[in-house]
Amino acid sequence: MGPIVEFDSVGLRYGTGAEVLRDLDCRLSAGGFYLLMGPSGAGKTSLLKLLYLAQRPTRGRISLFGEDLTEAPREAMPAFRRRIGVVFQDFRLIPHLSAFDNVALPLRVAGRRDAEIEGPVRELLAWVGLADRASARPPTLSGGEQQRVAIARAVIGQPELLVADEPTGNVDADMAARLLHLFQELNRLGTTIVVATHDVGLLAAARGAQLLRLEQGQLVDRTGALRNPPARVM
Ligand SMILES: Nc1ncnc2c1ncn2[C@@H]1O[C@H](COP(=O)(O)OP(=O)(O)OP(=O)(O)O)[C@@H](O)[C@H]1O
């Protein structure tokens, strides 16, 4: 399959600061599973923000779904965003909505009827171990529970691209394995997945995933394992 994301000499700076991302050239294949790794501060969240369109690059060119974003008008952005599921590092759940309603939101926005929403939302909440917390509001949930609601909300609409920032940062190893399985199932159904993580357990378990390594704002290839598109994780 062709690329779903193309970065061409991409750079990003915040305000007048130094570039936090530099000379990014990479191509992510549609249907791929990518793990983005690198030390704290390397720029992983910033790279993900470019992918889910929360930031525009200050330099270079990004194409998404085969369309050059530098050419795309601002009005086109919401339509792009609807094709992307995002698990934010800080979850960003809607505090006054129940876990059920947070997860249901993308389906409601897509115009699905209540009868089509109930089953999938309950099933997904059960999968992430929250069947009995469906009516709880986010402020009453633990960090790990909120993270699982955020993941369920990001995957429920089967987006074309799923971008997840440290999605297993607040859960134990068993739950991390379960969440990885959920991402792999989604990937099997055709969603391209990009997960930023420090979790080496995830790296070991995500066989067939491809590794993107960021250091000090650049994609590096110290081991020679990274290619464009990057090599598979052994
Ligand atoms: N909104 C912002 N304004 C200014 N600088 C920022 C902003 N967001 C991030 N940075 C800077 O950009 C650099 C990369 O940060 P980023 O959050 O992308 O790294 P990261 O690899 O995701 O780190 P971590 O693993 O700790 O989450 C850091 O030096 C950070 O201070």
For every one of its 234 residues, what pLDDT tens digit does the chain have, with 9 covering 90 and above? 679 999 999 999 999 999 999 999 989 999 999 999 999 999 999 999 999 999 999 999 999 999 999 888 889 999 999 999 999 999 999 999 999 999 999 999 989 999 999 999 999 999 999 999 999 999 999 999 999 999 999 999 999 999 999 999 888 999 899 999 999 999 999 999 999 998 888 888 888 899 899 999 999 865 544 444 454 554
Residue nearest to atom 1 of ligand 1 (CA): 14
Please tell me the predicted confidence (pLDDT) of residue 208: 83
What's the pLDDT score for residue 225?
45
* Test site for ligand 1: of 20, 166, 195, 213, most ligand atoms within 8 A of the Cβ: 20
Task: Please determine, for the modelled complex, whether the ipTM score is greater than 0.90.
Answer: yes
Question: Fold for domain 1-83+159-234?
Answer: Rossmann fold (3.40.50)
Q: Is the CB of 210 under 6 A from ligand 1?
A: no
Q: What is the pLDDT of residue 221?
A: 63
Using DSSP's 3-state secondary structure scheme, residue 108 falls into: helix
Helix and strand counts by DSSP (H, E) for the chain: 7, 10
Fill in the DSSP letter of residue 161. Answer: E
As a three-state string, the secondary structure of 15-83 is: CCCCEEEEEEEEEEECCCEEEEECCCCCCHHHHHHHHCCCCCCCEEEEEECCEECCCCCHHHHHHHHCC
Q: Is the CB of 25 under 6 A from ligand 1?
A: no
Contact by Cβ (8 Å): 138, 95: yes
Tell me the best of 22, 46, 90, 194 to mutate to test the pocket of ligand 1, counting ligand atoms within 8 Å of each CB and taking the most.
46
C-beta of 20 in contact with ligand 1 (< 6 A) = yes
Q: Give 30: exposed, middle or buried? Use CB within 10 Å, 0-12, 13-18, 19+.
A: middle
What residue has token string 């793990």? 35
The residues near 141 (Cβ < 8 Å, ≥ 6 apart) are: 99, 133, 149
Residue ranges of domains in the chain? 1-83+159-234, 94-158
Calpha distance 25→230 (Å, rounded): 11
pLDDT of residue 1: 66
To test the ligand 1 pocket, which listed residue (10, 14, 47) has its Cβ within 8 A of the most ligand atoms?
14
Q: Which atom of ligand 1 is nearest to the CA of 38?
A: 21
- Cβ(228)–Cβ(221) below 8 Å: no
Cβ(182) – ligand 1 distance below 6 Å? no
